[in-house]
């Protein structure tokens, strides 16, 4: 087998890279006659967007003159390039005069800009491809690093392609007015309904780009609650849900889902102690869930970078994701180097999760443990300061929910009761009111219910 040298380098083909000579000349000619054209072009076009070196130099000169408030026309640009020693570099005065032969049409300026942007992104993609090939031959660079670097750069390229334009205040107000009008005509929740009516009344559903923290002491019912959310949202919206389980295996989660759906206790399911009628119910539930877009990832040592990669993969396959669930926050690792200070590491994680939620416009629910301070108080109802590493979590979260069950602590409440009261405390709500949602908790199967049917 032939041994490859680590220094193997692939060069770009001799075929010219994608470009549009005429479009570049028309854009430059517009800049020479109109200040407004410069302001429009500066928002999205860089010097490298132009393929030809002389066009890059002319564009740089125009932008610099604009920033220095120097009058811009073919003669002033010619003088500026001459003073900076770049006139010969662009091919002389004749190149500038040739730009005047173009017929600039400001009405179509943005279309011409889009044309040269398209060619620039294609050139960038080609260069990125050859860079990936070269990196793959360098065996002393870890493969994971090569793939992560390629993913970051390709995603940055995707962002350039889908980058939204900057809106004026008038455009923003017009958009908001149309949204309000649509909501008045169709008074549904603006977010994703949880299926818990009092919670939805206070939050108006889970909003896009929100980071939601669900906190509670161990065995308080955090996982049970998010599995209830999962069931409700999957059945109502059929939206894909991604569940990152760092504590439980995917098999354990499936057992709990089946237990909730069928009403068969987890103990009987795990032992296989099933009655004849149970099999019919199990078959029906399995068939139903098999048709729903529910994804479980129980990979250990999960990082925020892994989460971003999984989201992108599922988005590519499904086109959309309704909700991300992470169980739980303190077991998640930062993609950056491990910090000796766990508070700083959690801060990095929560900030990254918030950025991911905002980047993909998907609500993220992250489960979190409460500190042991709760146990030492007479009133054990949790507050924000009970969050572990609370400073960073509290700061980045849009919504903080806390589960509390009195019978978890109070020995006077009958322990043999299968259904007991529970509270979901809205401890932080960036865009709405605080409050307490009364729920009912069932011990086996572990499940939460509304206290009253929806009226």
List the CATH number of the domain containing 366.
Answer: 3.40.50.300
pLDDT at 455: 46
What are the two backbone dihedrals, phi and then psi, of residue 374, each rounded to the nearest 5 degrees? -60, -40
Each residue of 174-232: pLDDT tens digit? 666 666 666 565 557 778 898 898 998 899 899 988 999 999 888 888 999 999 999 88
Phi and psi, residue 239, nearest 5°? -85, 140
Work out how many domains the chain is built from and give that number.
2
For residue 112, being part of any structural domain is answered with yes
Query: Which residues partner with 245 through β-bridges?
Result: 327
Q: How far apart are CA 197 and CA 451, in angstroms?
A: 9
User: Based on the domain organization, do 273 and 401 belong to the same domain?
Assistant: yes
* 222 and 119 in a common domain: no
Residue 399 pairs in a beta bridge with 212, 429
Tokens of 438: 């009364």
Same-domain pairing of 250 and 130: no
**Whole-number pLDDT of residue 5:** 42
| H or E, element range at 365 | strand 364-369
Residues 243 and 117 in one domain: no
**Residue where one domain finishes, among candidates 138, 162, 186:** 162
Q: Which of 147, 162, 177 is the last residue of a domain?
A: 162
**In this structure, how many other beta carbons lie within 10 angstroms of the beta carbon of residue 360?**
18
Pair (212, 305) in one structural domain: yes
Single pTM value for the model: 0.64
Q: Same domain for 219 and 157?
A: no
* 169 located within any domain: no
pLDDT value at residue 7: 43
236 within some domain: yes
67 part of a folded domain: yes
Q: Are 204 and 321 within one domain?
A: yes
User: CA dist 328 to 14, 157, 218, 372, Å?
Assistant: 52, 32, 11, 17
In this structure, are 397 and 264 located in the same domain? Answer: yes
Helices (H), 292-430: 304-318, 342-360, 390-396
| Residue 247 and residue 314 share a domain | yes
- The answer to whether position 425 is within a domain reads yes
CA dist., res. 107 & res. 170, Å (int):
20
Q: Would you say residue 51 lies in a domain?
A: yes
pLDDT on residue 438: 92
Is the Cβ–Cβ distance between 332 and 350 less than 8 Å? Answer: no
Query: Under 8 Å CB-to-CB from 280, ≥6 apart: which residues?
Result: none
Q: For the domain that residue 44 is a member of, what is the CATH number?
A: 1.10.860.10
Same-domain status, 212 and 115: no
Residue 92, domain member (yes or no): yes
**What residues of the chain score a pLDDT lower than 50?**
1-8, 164, 455
Quick check: is 346 in a domain? yes
Residue range(s) defining the domain that contains residue 313: 197-450
Q: What is the pLDDT of residue 345?
A: 81
């Amino acid at each position: 087998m032939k041994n490859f040298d680590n220094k193997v380098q692939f060069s770009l083909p001799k075929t010219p890279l994608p470009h549009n000579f005429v479009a570049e000349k028309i854009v430059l000619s517009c800049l020479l006659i109109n200040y407004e054209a410069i302001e429009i072009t500066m928002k999205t076009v860089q010097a490298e967007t132009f393929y030809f070196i002389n066009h890059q130099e002319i564009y740089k000169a125009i932008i610099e003159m604009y920033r220095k408030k120097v009058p811009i026309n073919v003669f002033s640009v010619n003088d500026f390039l001459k003073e900076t020693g770049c006139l010969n570099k662009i091919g002389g005065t004749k190149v500038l005069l040739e730009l005047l032969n173009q017929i600039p049409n400001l009405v179509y300026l943005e279309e011409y800009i889009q044309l040269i942007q398209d060619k620039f992104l294609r050139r960038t993609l080609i260069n990125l491809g050859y860079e990936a090939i070269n990196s793959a031959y360098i065996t002393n660079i870890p493969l994971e690093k090569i793939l992560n670097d390629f993913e970051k750069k390709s995603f940055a390229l995707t962002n350039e392609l889908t980058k939204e334009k900057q809106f004026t205040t008038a455009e923003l107000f017009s958009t908001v007015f149309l949204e309000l009008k649509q909501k008045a005509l169709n008074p549904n929740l603006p977010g994703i309904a949880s299926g818990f009516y009092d919670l939805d009344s206070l939050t108006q559903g889970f909003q896009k780009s929100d980071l939601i923290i669900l906190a509670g002491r161990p065995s308080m019912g955090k996982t049970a609650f998010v599995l209830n959310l999962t069931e409700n949202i999957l059945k109502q919206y059929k939206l894909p849900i991604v569940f990152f389980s760092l504590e439980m295996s995917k098999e354990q989660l499936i057992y709990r889902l089946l237990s909730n759906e069928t009403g068969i206790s987890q103990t009987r399911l795990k032992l296989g102690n099933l009655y004849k009628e149970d099999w019919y119910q199990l078959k029906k539930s399995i068939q139903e869930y098999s048709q729903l877009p529910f994804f479980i990832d129980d990979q250990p040592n999960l990082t925020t970078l892994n989460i971003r990669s999984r989201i992108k993969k599922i988005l590519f396959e499904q086109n959309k994701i309704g909700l991300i669930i992470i169980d739980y926050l303190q077991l998640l690792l930062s993609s950056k180097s491990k910090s000796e200070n766990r508070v700083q590491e959690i801060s990095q994680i929560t900030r990254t999760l918030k950025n991911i939620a905002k980047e993909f416009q998907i609500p993220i629910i992250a489960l979190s443990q409460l500190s042991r301070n709760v146990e030492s108080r007479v009133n054990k109802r949790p507050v924000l300061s009970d969050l572990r590493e609370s400073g960073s979590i509290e700061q980045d979260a849009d919504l903080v929910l806390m589960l509390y069950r009195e019978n978890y602590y109070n020995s006077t409440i009958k322990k043999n009761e299968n259904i007991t009261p529970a509270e979901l405390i809205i401890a932080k709500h960036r865009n709405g009111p605080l409050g307490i949602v009364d729920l009912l908790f069932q011990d086996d199967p572990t499940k939460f219910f509304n206290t009253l049917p929806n009226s």
